[in-house]
């Protein structure tokens, strides 16, 4: 088989989501709106937590970095997707494609670990409230955060190093809207079985370890909540976990559907829909979930607005 000459044509071509111009224009408008909400929502969450000292707690420390990660990996995917939808040029350079893959895996891996850390934080807050300030020290919070980013860096480095050794000869056309592992493996002329197993094991172990941590945390949380006699106490305990649990369910559900399934069940259309959800939609949903369902964030927002309006008078 004749290899694709990436010296003469160093670009990949991202086929995107559809070839129909009307649908492309509709999707570009929708994705632009979602991205603007994502940027404003996540930056707004970061600023509110930074400006309000009552939110300077471990829970909101992690939430700040969740907003940063969501904003970052959405920005890795969405602007290029919008450019491809709005223009006839769908090229992405060889280096650009691997750079996009690297940072996407990095931030996705970091978010998986960070959600585990947030689950542990909720466990300590509800099951050991008197020891919470001692256990969730500043040192532990920074250690867990560093672990999140190190997990993402390790996952993305292994992924990209293995992928960069492949020869892409079948075509330079990637049937996806961003550079992801499976669509890129599909255009390689090498035997990719080993890399597929590696990606499955790496993604699976990261997800499973995180899910085990979160599940154990919530089993203990549920056991503690059921022992609370007052209804108001139970509701308060549930409310502190509801936002995190909802975010975990949506994010993990789409990742598991996309990556942890047999290759024979792969469907380009379904996988693209799931990919749109966790790369473009979920980064928008997280700040809405954690702000609209959180009285402390809403109260902090109103306090900041009152201070701002008071300083102008």
Residue where the block lists tokens 């300030």: 133
Q: Which residues of 129-153 are buried (b: 16+ CB within 10 A; e: fewer)?
A: eeebeeebeeebbeebbeebbebbe
pLDDT of residue 262: 55
Residue 255 resides in a domain: yes
Summarize pLDDT for 179-188 with one digit per residue, the tens: 988 888 888 8
Closest CA to 215 of 248, 260, 242: 248
Closest CA to 145 of 65, 42, 45, 207: 65
Residue 110 resides in a domain: yes
Residue 197 resides in a domain: yes
pLDDT of residue 143: 96
Residue 5 resides in a domain: no
The CATH number of whichever domain residue 183 belongs to comes to 1.20.1070.10
Q: What is the pLDDT along the chain (313 residues), one digit of tens a residue?
A: 344 545 444 688 888 888 888 888 999 999 999 999 999 999 999 998 998 888 889 989 999 999 999 999 899 999 999 998 888 778 898 889 999 999 999 999 999 999 999 999 989 988 898 999 999 999 999 999 999 999 999 989 998 988 888 888 767 888 888 998 888 888 888 888 888 888 888 878 888 888 899 889 888 888 888 887 777 767 776 776 777 777 788 888 877 777 666 555 455 566 777 788 888 888 888 888 877 666 777 777 777 777 766 655 5
Residue 3 resides in a domain: no
Q: What's the predicted TM-score (pTM) here?
A: 0.86
Question: Are the CB atoms for 104 and 152 separated by under 8 Å?
Answer: no
Listed in sequence order, the residues at least 6 apart from 153 whose beta carbon sits closer than 8 Å to its beta carbon are 106, 109
Counting the structural domains of the chain, the total is: 1
How far apart are alpha carbons 69 and 220 in whole angstroms?
Answer: 28
Q: Give the bridge partners for 11, in sequence order.
A: 93
Burial class (CB in 10 A: 0-12, 13-18, 19+), 38: buried
How far apart are alpha carbons 265 and 261 in whole angstroms?
Answer: 7
Residue 1 resides in a domain: no
How far apart are alpha carbons 87 and 191 in whole angstroms?
Answer: 34
How far apart are alpha carbons 213 and 116 in whole angstroms?
Answer: 6
Residue 203 resides in a domain: yes
pLDDT of residue 310: 63
Listed in sequence order, the residues at least 6 apart from 132 whose beta carbon sits closer than 8 Å to its beta carbon are 124, 125
**Integer Rg of the chain from CA:** 22
pLDDT of residue 248: 82
- Enclosing domain of residue 271: 11-312
Residue 170 resides in a domain: yes
Tokens of 9: 């044509």
pLDDT of residue 285: 84
């Amino acid at each position: 088989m004749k290899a694709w000459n990436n010296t003469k044509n160093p670009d990949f071509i991202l086929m995107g989501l559809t070839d129909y111009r009307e649908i492309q224009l509709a999707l570009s408008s929708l994705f632009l709106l979602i991205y603007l909400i994502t940027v404003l929502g996540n930056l707004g969450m970061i600023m509110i937590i930074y400006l309000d000292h009552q939110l300077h707690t471990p829970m909101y420390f992690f939430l700040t970095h969740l907003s940063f990660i969501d904003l970052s990996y959405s920005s890795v995917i969405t602007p290029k997707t919008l450019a491809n939808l709005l223009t006839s040029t769908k090229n992405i350079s060889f280096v650009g494609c691997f750079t996009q893959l690297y940072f996407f895996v990095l931030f996705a891996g970091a978010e998986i670990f960070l959600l585990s850390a947030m689950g542990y934080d909720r466990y300590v807050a509800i099951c050991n409230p008197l020891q919470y300030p001692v256990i969730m020290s500043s040192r532990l919070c920074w250690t867990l955060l560093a672990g999140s980013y190190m997990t993402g860096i390790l996952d993305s480095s292994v992924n990209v190093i293995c992928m960069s050794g492949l020869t892409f000869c079948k075509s330079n056309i990637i049937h996806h809207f961003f550079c992801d592992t499976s669509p890129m493996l599909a255009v390689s002329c090498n035997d990719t079985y080993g890399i597929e197993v590696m990606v499955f094991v790496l993604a699976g172990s990261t997800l499973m370890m995180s899910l085990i941590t979160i599940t154990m945390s919530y089993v203990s949380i549920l056991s503690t909540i059921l022992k609370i006699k007052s209804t108001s106490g139970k509701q308060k305990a549930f409310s502190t976990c509801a936002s995190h649990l909802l975010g975990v369910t949506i994010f993990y559900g789409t990742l598991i559907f996309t990556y942890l399934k047999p290759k024979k069940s792969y469907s380009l259309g379904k996988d693209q829909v799931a990919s749109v959800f966790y790369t473009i939609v979920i980064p928008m949903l997280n700040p809405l979930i954690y702000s609209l369902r959180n009285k402390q964030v809403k109260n902090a927002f109103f306090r900041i607005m009152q201070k701002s309006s008071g300083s102008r008078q």
